[in-house]
Amino acid sequence: MVSSDGKDYHSVAGMESEEIEQKERAMEMNFDKTQARYVRVAVFNKGIIPAGLPGEGNKAWLFADEISIE
């Protein structure tokens, strides 16, 4: 999401969880060139790790080690 005043944001790109699950590692989002002073990135984890995955039944973590804006 982007904003020029830091109060009113509008979405410029998004990705559904099904798309994310198909990615192995790095994710890249492209969108039309836009000007903004503020950028907001919203991400949500699975909540509880589903059965059949390592750590099943425990709270899920979410890690982001780098966000680049060009």
Count helices and strands (H / E) in the chain.
Answer: 1, 2
- Rounded to the nearest angstrom, the gap between the alpha carbon of residue 10 and the centroid of all alpha carbons in its chain is 15
pLDDT at 24: 60
Give the pLDDT of residue 23.
62
Q: How many CB atoms lie within 10 A of CB 7?
A: 7
Domain range annotation of the chain:
1-70
**What is the reported pLDDT for 67?**
82
pLDDT of 32: 86
The pLDDT score that the predictor gives to residue 30 is: 78
Identify which of 67, 63, 60 has the alpha carbon closest to the alpha carbon of residue 1: 67
Mean pLDDT by 10 residues, the chain (70 residues): 95 78 68 90 86 92 82
CA distances from 57 to 8, 11, 38, 44, 60 (A): 37, 33, 37, 17, 9
